[in-house]
Amino acid sequence: MNIPAADPWGERLSRRLGLWSAVAVLVGSTIGSGIFRTPASVAQRIDDVPLFLLAWVVGGVVAVCGALTYAELAAAFPRSGGMYVFLREAFGPVPAFLFGWAELLIIRPGAYGAIGITASAYTLRTMGLDPAAEVWGLPVRGDQALGAGFIILVAAVNYFGIRRGAVIQNISTAFKVGALAALILMGFALGDGMGVGALVEQRAVVAASPFLLAMVSILWAYDGWADLAFVGGEVKDPQRTLPRALIIGTSVVVALYIGANLVYLYLIPIQQMKQAELVAADVASLLIGPAGIIAISAAVAVSTFGTLNGSMMTAPRIFFAMAEDGLFPKAIARVDARTGAPTAAIILAAVLGVIFILIRTFTELADQFVIGIWPFYALAVAAVFVLRRTQPDLPRPYRTAGYPVVPLLFLGGSLFLLGNYLVSETKAFVIDVAVILSGVPVYYGWKKWGGGR
């Protein structure tokens, strides 16, 4: 049997991920299409260059604060499920169950759908095909159909073990990091851009409301750093590896994002950037001609496919951990004896993703993910304060640098994002919160009649 007989933390899954595979999971789960597309929408709201750059720096600070805080939790509880385990230990089974319930009905299907549609749309564009075209006369767009196929593909790969998923993740992450780094270096070395003085002289009056709305898009682009904790039960030497991977991976993402935005601004005036939906393609076109558009479309396709694979590596572990605790059907806790993969949980995640990608649009899927996940990000970071009080003797191989300021900064960013969504997308926000809270009677019903222990 390929599963360790006795894990110090009681984990049934095999610990097969080393430091750089863990970094690849984090970086690959974070860098999707956001840095290739989001700057244009941010420029539409913040057309003042110093403020534009400040917004991306602030987003990076929030992400780093989250990673530093999660590093303490992940090292203390290196188990499958990540955030689910943190919430259970700090607040009890009900909030933890609500997180899993939200992942089941809102968060994960929304993530798979949004990422799958983006990956498939850019794949079709690279091939010269129309992503919006119907497939065989059915009421399904080409990007939806291919996106569903991508979800099934990454599920099949991960069904046969996390090592196979890690291979795809390592390759796709190396590609996307290399592509972004090359774009940045080539842009500054070969591009005919403006000087620093001309760059920062692009000023405009920006009200608070547009700035805050732009921050929502930026935080979406930075999202993904927390996914590594979901596979905490499969990381080697986790109490050293998880904090290092969280800090290294998030720092790499922030550096690449700031570098990319600097090169975008260096080559394209911010007023022009507003109309550049795929700004990275415009930059590549300036550097290497029309082939640059194809090259960047292919880079986005590979990048988002890697993000989809990373999400399929990590999210099923939430359902597995809940089934281990008796809060989901026991069948979901099935582990393949040969590969050590939680196969039933992977099938469940894939089925949900395919259903949602075929019935909802990209915007609906992306919005439901953001609204669903951020309340639990805030709650999990708050768990650091609770656990330091309730479990002061808990072994903490890593303690959050800058505590308590660092987690408080992240909590502030979380509350701001949720407040903006409540104001700008009130109906969707209320519906998603209602879906999450519907898990309360489900939890108690399951405990009473479902055989949960």
Q: Which residue has the higher pLDDT, 165 or 135?
A: 165
Does some domain include residue 2? no
Give the chain's mean pLDDT. 89
Could you please report the per-residue DSSP string of 133-193? SBSTTSS-BHHHHHHHHHHHHHHHHHHT-HHHHHHHHHHHHHHHHHHHHHHHHHHHHH---
Instruction: Write b or e for each residue in 67-84: b if 16 or more Cβ atoms lie within 10 A of its Cβ, otherwise e.
Output: bbbbbbbbbbbbbbbbbb
Tokens of 137: 């006369």
Cβ distance 165 to 312 under 8 Å? yes
The residue type at 352: L
Does some domain include residue 57? yes
Does some domain include residue 4? no
pLDDT greater than 80 at residue 369:
no
Closest CA to 302 of 40, 76, 120, 117: 120
Packing angle of the helix pair 83-91, 362-390 (nearest 10 deg): 40
Does some domain include residue 9? no
Does some domain include residue 431? yes
- Residue 11 CA from chain centroid, whole number: 24
How many domains, in total, are found in the chain?
Answer: 1
pLDDT greater than 90 at residue 437:
yes
Q: Does this model's pTM top 0.85?
A: yes
- Report the CATH number at residue 241: 1.20.1740.10
Domain limits for position 315: 19-449
Q: How confident is the model at residue 186 (pLDDT cuts 50, 70, 90)?
A: very high
Does some domain include residue 14? no
Q: Which residue has the tokens 């909802």?
A: 360
pLDDT greater than 80 at residue 226:
yes
- Residue 410 CA from chain centroid, whole number: 16
Does some domain include residue 391? yes
Does some domain include residue 267? yes
